Homo-oligomer: A and B are copies of this chain.
């Protein structure tokens, strides 16, 4: 693919930035956005950084009808010295292309969109907050725009990146949550789209979330769609358990999302020589381990919270309290280490951070 240039139109009016202690997740957006179009004849083209603004879409655009879309989520962090850095951004664009393949969306040029992201963040760098636990959430996404009601892959797409300054996920420190094992609804099944980061998976999950929150649970623990026996994910995070000194997580099986934080947790544990295994985990096995006093910790992993300790699991009318409902030692150590690396406060032994350094020339 020939290297594209990025046309930049700067915003004349700057929006007011919210107080960093009042930031909510995903409600405030920065001054600019990145947009790029796809057509069969031109491929990905028309790359632009524009003032953040509504986009004009035909009501027949396929996104409104047949859900052909993928997205990613990652973050930029402000270091103590004031620099801005990204956490493993290449993993996200790699995964986006895997999602694109499943959804029959043309691939993006991973290097080019990373370059575009860096340029966008440079322009909006004042939006990267600097107080404890805050960061800039980055949302790249692709959606079908061809105005056509036939069920077929679209011939036109838009790729966009929008940025949102976000507050600390844990306002009062890292806190365990209560999770309900879901036995009615199914998130994904092998042969479906569970492995892809696509809207339909999330739309499908909303109802289960609604049901359990009424019962006082924060999220659901998804079981496999075939036998409803094996653990898959928790809410929109991957899940880990520490059983008898060994950390286990469900093996990627075609219906589980390959989380970037999941991969970071596994790599970190290996780096520390803590035993970690990816394998199939039965819900009954977990209950048995709990019964035997061997279920030592449980936590979710994801970009938003990094690590979300699980204090209790509700299943079949019983509630299983884990580690006395408190954050476990390994959960805390992983959380502190990953966030330490992300904010540039700890060494980065696995080369995860990517600084945004070059003050690239802006073409106007």
Give chain A's interface residues, CB within 8 Å of chain B.
25-27, 29, 33, 52, 54-60, 63-69, 71, 73, 102-104, 137, 139, 141, 143, 147-153, 160, 162, 164, 184-193, 198-207, 209-210, 225-226, 235-236
Inter-chain contact B202/A191, CB cutoff 8 Å: no
A153 closest partner in B (C-beta): B206
Inter-chain contact B202/A199, CB cutoff 8 Å: no
Most central of A69, A151, A205, A225 by chain B CB within 10 Å: A151
Copies in the assembly, this chain: 2
> How far, in angstroms, from A185 to B69 measured CA to CA in the complex?
18
Say whether, besides A26-B149, A64-B63, A207 and B102 are in contact (CB < 8 Å). Answer: yes
| Sample of 12 further A-B pairs with CB below 8 A, known A64-B143, A66-B203, A67-B203 | A27-B148, A29-B147, A59-B160, A63-B64, A65-B141, A66-B202, A67-B198, A152-B209, A153-B206, A192-B204, A198-B200, A200-B200
> How far, in angstroms, from A152 to B150 measured CA to CA in the complex?
29
A213 closest partner in B (C-beta): B152
What are the 9 tightest A-B residue pairs by CB atom distance, in nearest-first order? Answer: A200-B200, A67-B199, A26-B149, A186-B191, A67-B203, A66-B202, A54-B56, A104-B206, A189-B189
Query: A295 to nearest B CB, angstroms?
Result: 26
> How far, in angstroms, from A210 to B152 measured CA to CA in the complex?
9
A68: contacting residue among B65, B143, B203, CB under 8 A: B203
A200: contacting residue among B54, B73, B193, CB under 8 A: B193
For this complex, 17 residue pairs linking A to B, each with C-beta atoms less than 8 Å apart, are A54-B57, A55-B56, A55-B58, A56-B56, A56-B57, A59-B162, A63-B63, A64-B69, A65-B69, A65-B71, A66-B206, A67-B200, A67-B203, A186-B190, A189-B189, A199-B199, A226-B226
